[in-house]
A and B are shown apart, each in its own frame.
Chain A
Amino acid sequence: MTEPTEPQAPKDERAPAAPKVGVDEWVAQYERRRQERAGPFAPLVRVWDLTPRPAWMAAVVLLAVVYGIFATNSGDLRIGINTILFALLALGLNVVVGWAGLLDLGYIAFYGFGAYVYAFVASEKFGVHLPTPAAVGVVIAATALLGLLLGLPSWRLLGDYLAIVTLFFAQIFLVVTTNGNRINVPGHDGPADITGGPNGIPGVDAFGLGSTEAVEVKTYYWIALGAFVLVAAALYLLNDSRTGRAWRALREDPLAAEAMTMPVNRLKLLAFMFGAATAGLTGSIFAAVQIGVFPQNFELFLLITIYAMVILGGAGSIGGVVIGAVTIGVTLEILRDADWGRIIFYVLLVSAVFVIVRPWRHVPWVVAAVVVFGVLLNQIAGAVWPRGVGRTPLGADGPLGGLVDDWVLLPERPGTIGSIAFVLLVLGALALTLSRGWPRVAGAVPLLYLGAFVWENKLIFQPSVTRFLLVGALLVFVMNLRPQGLMGTARVEIV
Chain B
Amino acid sequence: MNWDFLVQQVVSGLTLGSMYALIALGYTMVYGILKLLNFAHGEVYMMGAFAGLGVMTALGGPDAPIVPVALMVLVMFLAGMSASAVLAMGLERFAYRRLRNAPRIAPLITALGASFFLQSTALLLFGARRRSYDSAEFIDLRGGIHWGPLNASPTRLLTISTTVTLMVLLTLLVSRTRLGKAMRAVSFDREAAAMMGIDVDRVIVATFAIGGILAGAAGVMFGLVYFSVYHLMGFTAGLKGFTAAVVGGIGNIPGAMLGGLLIGLAESFSAAYVSSTFMDLIVFSILIVVMLARPTGLLGRADIKKV
Are B105 and A103 closer than 8 Å at their CB atoms? yes
Are A103 and B112 closer than 8 Å at their CB atoms? no
Are B280 and A422 closer than 8 Å at their CB atoms? no
B119 at the interface (CB under 8 A from A): yes
B residues less than 8 Å from A168 (CB atoms)? 239, 243, 284, 287-288
Stretch of A169-177, A214-222, A289-297, A337-345 that contacts chain B: A169-177
Q: A462 to B123, alpha carbons, bound, how many Å?
A: 10
Stretch of A16-24, A62-70, A380-388, A463-471 that contacts chain B: A463-471
B218 at the interface (CB under 8 A from A): no
Are A479 and B99 closer than 8 Å at their CB atoms? yes
Q: A101 to B103, alpha carbons, bound, how many Å?
A: 10
Chain A minimum-CB-distance residue to B126: A419
Q: A164 to B90, alpha carbons, bound, how many Å?
A: 24
Are A103 and B242 closer than 8 Å at their CB atoms? no
Could you tell me the dominant secondary structure of chain B's interface residues?
helix
Q: Nearest Cβ in chain B — how far from A268, in angstroms?
A: 15
A residues less than 8 Å from B125 (CB atoms)? 419, 422-423
Q: Which of A171, A476, A483, A491 has the most CB of B within 10 A?
A: A476
A165-B288, A307-B112, A483-B106 given as contacts; is B94 within 8 A of A430 (CB)?
yes
Q: Nearest Cβ in chain A — how far from B278, in angstroms?
A: 7
Chain A minimum-CB-distance residue to B120: A468
Chain A minimum-CB-distance residue to B113: A475
Q: Nearest Cβ in chain B — how far from A425, in angstroms?
A: 11
The tally of residues in A whose CB lies under 8 Å from a CB in B reads 52
Q: A307 to B235, alpha carbons, bound, how many Å?
A: 18
Are A179 and B278 closer than 8 Å at their CB atoms? yes
Are B113 and A469 closer than 8 Å at their CB atoms? no
B residues less than 8 Å from A483 (CB atoms)? 99, 102-103, 106
Q: Nearest Cβ in chain A — how far from B296, in angstroms?
A: 10
Interface set of B (CB-CB < 8 Å, partner A): 35, 37, 90, 94-95, 98-99, 102-110, 112-121, 123-125, 235, 239, 242-243, 246, 277-278, 280-281, 284-285, 287-288, 291-292, 295, 307
Given contact pairs A175-B284, A483-B106, enumerate 10 new A-B contacts (beta carbons under 8 Å).
Answer: A105-B112, A153-B291, A175-B281, A255-B307, A315-B105, A423-B125, A473-B117, A475-B110, A480-B99, A491-B103
Interface set of A (CB-CB < 8 Å, partner B): 97, 101, 103, 105, 153, 156-157, 159-161, 163-165, 167-169, 171-172, 175-176, 179, 182, 255, 300-301, 304, 307-308, 311, 315, 419, 422-423, 426, 430, 433, 458-459, 462, 465, 468-469, 471-476, 479-480, 483, 491
